[in-house]
Structure 1
């Protein structure tokens, strides 16, 4: 399995963080199904569900870093029935996926959120949450999580 492959349990956990079947109607079982879901646009309610489920990452600047959506936009989207656009959907999905992966590695969502906020030596003392805004940064965070999961000292 390559470092960027996502397992079914991780896909399910990411989907649950976004509201599960109640909000998404269908939990993706494959990365292609996740792609299709994001491309169609996640329901705006999914973003609210994700934010409400956070334990530590509650400050506006943390949410903006994690989701790439300003608090003002988030507040507007909470009452909007239109789906998120593919970019917003992608950012929400990727954050949910990274949080699911980190939760698996660290044993709890609280520990995962704390890790996302802490500078990491392997990331040149940058906080993982700050790297989630680009594909390259996301890949670095995924790779680090895989290394930590396999016990590779970083």
Structure 2
């Protein structure tokens, strides 16, 4: 049974910055597993969560469901210049990396977001977005993107 992809929308009041500029500002933090580990343990600035929210096009509800935190809490952390805990930092870094690959393959965050909300044969007809709430799910989505990149869709 085919489902209609969720629409791409963002309701953020933060100024829009180019996708490539946002990705570029975080690439060195997730470029290799040691960077991800070190930067996760050190904790990302809470601003990283808002940057991801803007990049991804997730609604506040989608963000909150995926990252198990409230946007209002993140905004308070930003006001207090607080850092995020290791688990949330790791998930954000893996998500930035995922969007980097998705934008590379699909051409824009908007198109990648649409794909994330479409059932994928390579993921057992599950919607990729529904897997993003765990590191394992993000890894499975990354593997599916690599298969798409190389034309291995069977």
Query: Common fold, TM-score beyond 0.5?
Result: yes
**Distance in 2, Cα, partners of 1:62 & 1:44:** 18
Tell me if structure 2 keeps the 8 A contact 1:19–1:49: no
**Cα separation, partners in 2 of 1:106 and 1:147, compared to 1, 3 Å:** same
Following superposition, the deviation at residue 91 of structure 1 comes to: 1.4
- How far does residue 98 in structure 1 lie from its aligned partner after superposition? 0.8
* Deviation, structure 1 residue 113: 1.2
- 1:6 match: none
**Does the 8 Å contact 2:103/2:112 carry over to 1?**
yes
Alignment CA distance shift 1:109-1:101 (3 Å): same
Question: Structure 2 length normalisation: TM-score?
Answer: 0.73
Q: Which residue of 2 aligns with 1:39?
A: 41
5+ unaligned residues in a row in structure 1: which ranges? 1-13
Aligned pairs, number: 135
Whole-Å Cα distance in 2 between the matches of residues 41 and 132 of structure 1?
Answer: 20
Equivalent residues in 2 for 1:97-136, closer than 5 Å: 97-136=97-136
1:123 Cα deviation after fit: 1.8
Aligned to 1:95: 95
Q: What's 1:27 paired with?
A: 28
Q: What is the alpha-carbon root mean square deviation over aligned residues?
A: 2.6
TM-score by length of 1: 0.73
What is the CA distance between 1:67 and its match in structure 2? 3.0
Q: Using the alignment, how far apart are the partners of 1:144 and 1:85 within structure 2?
A: 28
Distance 2:66 2:150 in 1: 25
By how many angstroms is 1:127 displaced?
1.5
Ranges in structure 2 where 5+ consecutive residues have no aligned partner: 1-18
User: Counterpart in 2 of 1:5?
Assistant: none
Aligned partner of 2:71 in structure 1 is 71
Question: By how many angstroms is 1:44 displaced?
Answer: 0.9
Q: Distance in 1 between matches of 2:22 and 2:129?
A: 17
Q: Distance in 1 between matches of 2:82 and 2:20?
A: 19
- Residues 17-39 of structure 1 show CA distances to partners (whole Å, capped at 9, x for unaligned) of 3682xxx7x93453312321111
The answer as to whether partners of 1:103 and 1:112 remain within 8 angstroms in 2 is yes
